[in-house]
Amino acid sequence: MTTTAYLLTIDAHDPTGGSGQTADLATWAALGWRGTSITTALTAQNSYGVQGVQAAEVALLRNSLRTLLADGEPAAVKIGMISHAAVAEEVAQFVEARQCPVVWDPQLASADGSEPWARAHGGGLAMRLAQRADLITANRAEASALLDLPAWEMGPPPAAWINAIRSRWLEAGAPHRAVVVKGGNAWGAHSTDWYITSSTVLPLVSRRLPRSAHGSGSVHASVCAARLAEGWSVLDAAAEAQLRAHAGIDQAIAAGPGRPNTRTDARADSDDLPWLPLPGQSEEAPPDFARLSGQIGFYPVVPDADWVLRLLEWGVCTIQLRIKELEGAELRMQIREAVQAAREVPGTQLFINDHWREAIEAGAYGVHLGQDDVHTADLPAIHTAGLRLGLSTHTPAEIARAHALRPSYIALGPVFPTTLKAMPYRPLGLERLTQWRQWLSPRYPVVAIGGISLEQMSAVRATGVSGAAVVSAVTQAVNPRLAVREALHIWPACADEAVAQAMV
């Protein structure tokens, strides 16, 4: 008999439903996961805050944890409020025996500054939980209390904080382990979560909302647990968690006259996107790249200028020239020829892949870059030259990186398995493509890419994306012109779709 995968929250019961295990279970249900719960404490609380806490009876807690395992191992564990040192000992023993990802949200202090269950963990027990956790999600008050450090309100984390987090929480762990110090209760125009590993310190920046909401930390941590259970990296999990928590606060639900509850099934959009600045880039958002002048639609990616000329003749208006083998004068000649031909066809949007210097020199319409390329390309020069910018993304963290650069469009993929090149990323599928497209709307046009055949194009279009980039569906077609004609009937690519149809 096969057991159904489940997630486990070990946390307090919140009768308002706004935080703790009730918020975890609701968040997981919204993400499509089955959740289970073990109660560490009963609380008396309402929209004004916690009025009382009663720790769980330790023997019952121990029996509950053991009994649950008869249904199989959890896919991930999220730990929240620990109400007593004896409870902490039981929880520590339990998670130390598990192999699954563990997320610890150390709720020593609530977001409003109260401390209803102050430091019952004990220093050694807190250290054990910290060193077992794959991810610790603490607000600044909680981290300050646990690390015994002075408060830090503004700017990047001080060296003392980074050193303490690494030496006390991360040093003994695997390289993938991380701490996210959340910035919702700090000051400033932006709310910045700091992602800290043994070797990296990265800011995840969101626009600060004018209000807070009860349970945002629970939503954040439970999203992280779900995505770690699915095999996503800690950074990807943290990026999506910040997005969803932000949307949940923005769409918070009134639970009484006090603070509202974070909405666990909030629908995120581009206003909720966190951005991940490049090293040395300011947390302030840069100016936007120029907007596209037309629709995207059917978007072939081709290897040389001859292909560009043929596609223009066949009525395609959005094209990417991706030259991989040529260099020097021959490369520049190919790009100049393609750019000149595109200029002669009104409404054409020709993007040059990777070769941004040559694209600027030739006066191209736009450039398309991959994630590795943004670290070496002169993005200000591309912007100053007036070129549009398209960026490839494959994960939530890469979406956050793209959002930090404010491109003209964002590509998501691979949608389906592709054999054209080795891809370290899992295929998104149509359901995730739809969801991520919603995250990027309405700010960014979205291009779907990766393994898309003509037979799949209608289904891809139904997800709401702005266009579909294809390679082999054209360049490896038995009859490329017929393939283009069929594609343009499914998805015209000009600003005026009637023009595109007339040109087929």
The answer to whether residue 287 sits within a structural domain is: no
CB distance 10 to 81 below 8 Å: no
The answer to whether residue 465 sits within a structural domain is: yes
The answer to whether residue 33 sits within a structural domain is: yes
Q: What is the pLDDT of residues 223-239, one digit of tens each?
A: 999 999 999 999 999 99
Q: Look at residue 192 in the predicted model and tell me its pLDDT.
A: 94
Domain end call among 233, 261, 289: 261
Asked if residue 257 and residue 301 are part of one domain, the reply reads no
**pLDDT confidence tier of residue 113, bands split at 50, 70 and 90:** very low
Instruction: Output the domain CATH number for residue 128.
Output: 3.40.1190.20
The answer to whether residue 272 sits within a structural domain is: no
Alpha-carbon distance of 449 to 466, in angstroms, equals 11
**pLDDT confidence tier of residue 83, bands split at 50, 70 and 90:** confident
Domain end call among 261, 288, 312: 261
Mean pLDDT of all residues in 378-386: 97
Asked if residue 226 and residue 371 are part of one domain, the reply reads no
The answer to whether residue 80 sits within a structural domain is: yes
How many distinct structural domains can be found in the chain?
2
The answer to whether residue 271 sits within a structural domain is: no
Residue 148 annotated as binding? no
Asked if residue 303 and residue 215 are part of one domain, the reply reads no
Question: What pTM value is reported for the model?
Answer: 0.93
Asked if residue 306 and residue 245 are part of one domain, the reply reads no
Residue 421 annotated as binding? yes
Asked if residue 319 and residue 207 are part of one domain, the reply reads no
Residue 320 annotated as binding? yes
The answer to whether residue 285 sits within a structural domain is: no
Mean pLDDT of all residues in 270-276: 97
The answer to whether residue 137 sits within a structural domain is: yes
Asked if residue 346 and residue 487 are part of one domain, the reply reads yes
Q: Look at residue 423 in the predicted model and tell me its pLDDT.
A: 56
Q: Look at residue 421 in the predicted model and tell me its pLDDT.
A: 60
Residue 471 annotated as binding? yes
Residue 353 annotated as binding? yes
What is the DSSP track for 308-347?
A: HHHHHHTT--EEEE---S--HHHHHHHHHHHHHHHHTSTT
Asked if residue 309 and residue 217 are part of one domain, the reply reads no
Q: What is the pLDDT of residues 201-225, one digit of tens each?
A: 999 999 999 989 999 999 999 999 9
Could you tell me which of 288, 276, 292 has the C-alpha nearest to residue 383?
A: 288
Asked if residue 367 and residue 319 are part of one domain, the reply reads yes
Alpha-carbon distance of 364 to 332, in angstroms, equals 12
CB distance 304 to 334 below 8 Å: yes
For the record, the structure tokens of 60 come out as 């019952």
Asked if residue 309 and residue 213 are part of one domain, the reply reads no
Instruction: Output the domain CATH number for residue 477.
Output: 3.20.20.70
Q: Look at residue 502 in the predicted model and tell me its pLDDT.
A: 44
Domain end call among 234, 261, 288: 261
Mean pLDDT of all residues in 122-129: 74
Q: What share of the chain in percent tops pLDDT 70? A: 92
Q: Which of 2-6, 52-56, 368-372 has the lowest mean pLDDT?
A: 2-6
- Given a cut of 70, whether residue 501 has pLDDT beyond it is no
Residue 373 annotated as binding? yes
- Given a cut of 90, whether residue 124 has pLDDT beyond it is no
Helix orientation angle between 216-229 and 20-30, rounded to the nearest 10 degrees = 50
Asked if residue 142 and residue 31 are part of one domain, the reply reads yes
DSSP E strands, 153-231: 178-182, 190-196, 201-207
Q: Supply the range of the domain harboring residue 402.
A: 297-502
Mean pLDDT of all residues in 416-422: 73
Residue 321 annotated as binding? yes
- Given a cut of 60, whether residue 252 has pLDDT beyond it is yes
Q: Look at residue 437 in the predicted model and tell me its pLDDT.
A: 98
Tell me how far CA of residue 400 lies from CA of 40, 91, 195, 275, 470, in angstroms: 35, 34, 13, 4, 24
Q: Look at residue 497 in the predicted model and tell me its pLDDT.
A: 44
Asked if residue 177 and residue 57 are part of one domain, the reply reads yes
**pLDDT confidence tier of residue 121, bands split at 50, 70 and 90:** very low
Q: What is the pLDDT of residues 15-39, one digit of tens each?
A: 999 999 999 999 999 999 999 999 9
Q: Which residue has the higher pLDDT, 337 or 86?
A: 337
Asked if residue 239 and residue 94 are part of one domain, the reply reads yes
Residue 354 annotated as binding? yes
R_g of the chain computed on alpha carbons = 25
